Amino acid sequence: MATPNPFLIASLRETAHRLSQGAHYAWGDHGSCNCGNLLQVMTDRTGKDILRIAHTGIGEWTEIAEEWCPVSDLPADRLVGELIRHGLTPSDVRHIEHLDDRDILDRLPGGFRWLQRNRREDVTAYLETMADMLQERLEVESAQQGVRAILANTASMDADSPRMAEVANLPVTA
């Protein structure tokens, strides 16, 4: 699953919003399909630019992502590199293009159902659910980091230090 981060979450939400507002959508067009629309948001490139660049690679986004090479500097690899740099994996690219990650499908509003990869409403539901999942993971990870920092700070306090004495003398409130 993708690495949760604010930019990725916002990009997924913005892509879903644009699609729900009528942005050009065509599943068979690299620049206007599921990943193409996401790339438009992430890179500020037009659908036509993305289509032109994607055609320097072979296949649909699934194949381009599977063959992605971070050092090739091929134009299509640079586009996939943008998706990966912002937290997605090649596997996530495939799932976004086909709307088939079971964890996301299980969390759809109304419960599990199979989605159609070329249906605008399904893409919107999938991207919104993915963004919600990543947001929850980000919040949990942030809370865990906070707890670890508190524990590390507490462990580093010397029992005889004035700060530890201050903490030890705090009244317990319910």
Stated pTM of the model: 0.82
Q: How far is CA 151 from CA 47, 140, 174, in A?
A: 48, 16, 21
* pLDDT at residue 84 tops 60: yes
Split at pLDDT 50, 70, 90, the class of 142 is: confident
Angle between helices 6-20 and 34-43 (to 10 degrees): 120
Cα-Cα end-to-end distance for the chain: 40
Higher per-residue pLDDT: 169 or 8: 8
Q: What is the DSSP string of 79-140?
A: HHHHHHHTT--HHHHHHHHHT--HHHHHTSTTS-----TT-HHHHHHHHHHHHHHHHHHHHH
* pLDDT at residue 174 tops 90: no
Split at pLDDT 50, 70, 90, the class of 155 is: low
Q: Are 70 and 77 in contact (CB under 8 A)?
A: yes
Q: How far is CA 148 from CA 5, 66, 106, 154, 165, in A?
A: 19, 36, 31, 10, 22
Mean of pLDDT over the chain: 89
Q: What gap in Å lies between CA 147 and CA 139, rounded to an integer?
A: 12
What integer is the mean pLDDT of 71-84? 91
pLDDT more than 90, % of the chain = 68
Q: What gap in Å lies between CA 66 and CA 93, rounded to an integer?
A: 9
pLDDT tens readout for residues 18-64: 999 999 999 999 999 999 999 999 999 999 999 999 999 888 998 89
